[in-house]
Amino acid sequence: MAQSARLVRTDGNLAAGVLSAAVVVGLGVAAVTYARDRSATRNGPIRAKAAALAAYLREHLIGSDAAIDVVERLRLTHAGSQEGRLFASLFDEFREEREVVRLLLEQIGASPVPLRHLAGHASGAALMRANGGERERGELSLFRTLESLAIGVQGKRCMWRALESLLGDQPIPSARSLGGLEAMAVRQWEAIEERRRALVSETFPALRLSAMDVPID
């Protein structure tokens, strides 16, 4: 009983912790830069829009850093399994996508380095907390991880679509087009979702709900 009552860190909790840390960092960065970026609005709407784009790309860069931290660890802990192969593939693709965002920030004259430091600190802290306790490698852990990643990939897809609306057919610093990057995000989501749904019956018991009376107004 004492053993089960002990705090247990799961891969799912790790994913949620790292991704939540990224959200916290993103909100913190937005708060810190808000006052600074307000000065840009005094110099005209064009500069204000450039500052907004930089903030938007930085937030996605932070999310990318968190996702990379998660899949890098999980590709090792699940090596040799179907999930391990999925995480290894995501690790390579997430790094490719991160580089595109980093280069876009450079092209608009915004440096991502300070934000990378903040994101690395937050995700590193989450990783240390996760390693501080025992790990339970149950199906729920993996299910939560896949669900968190699926949500993040959909957010990234929204970013590529927004950039496509903004840039049109302009060349970007990538071997892929923005449409190609969005298509890759769709494939990532489908692969993650396929594994997540396959785990439903392995994670949760079969349910047979009784009929319920629904009140009619």
Indicate the pLDDT class of residue 64, thresholds 50, 70 and 90.
very high
- Residue 79 and residue 50 in contact, taking contact as beta carbons nearer than 8 Å: no
Q: What is the DSSP letter of 81?
A: S
Rounded CA-CA distance 92/82 in Å is 16
Indicate the pLDDT class of residue 134, thresholds 50, 70 and 90.
very low
Summarize the confidence of residues 165-190 as an average pLDDT: 96
Token readout for 182 is 């969005």
Place of tokens 């939560």: 144
User: So what's the pLDDT on residue 35?
Assistant: 43
Helix boundaries (H) for the chain: 2-5, 11-41, 45-77, 82-107, 113-131, 139-167, 178-198, 200-203
Q: Tell me the DSSP string of 8-70.
A: EEEHHHHHHHHHHHHHHHHHHHHHHHHHHHHHHHTT-HHHHHHHHHHHHHHHHHHHHHHHHHH
Tell whether the model's pLDDT for residue 92 goes beyond 90: yes
Indicate the pLDDT class of residue 152, thresholds 50, 70 and 90.
very high
Q: What is the DSSP letter of 199?
A: T
Indicate the pLDDT class of residue 212, thresholds 50, 70 and 90.
confident
Rounded CA-CA distance 21/62 in Å is 9
Indicate the pLDDT class of residue 122, thresholds 50, 70 and 90.
low
Lowest mean pLDDT among 32-36, 38-42, 55-59: 32-36
What's the mean per-residue pLDDT of the chain? 78
Tell whether the model's pLDDT for residue 119 goes beyond 80: no
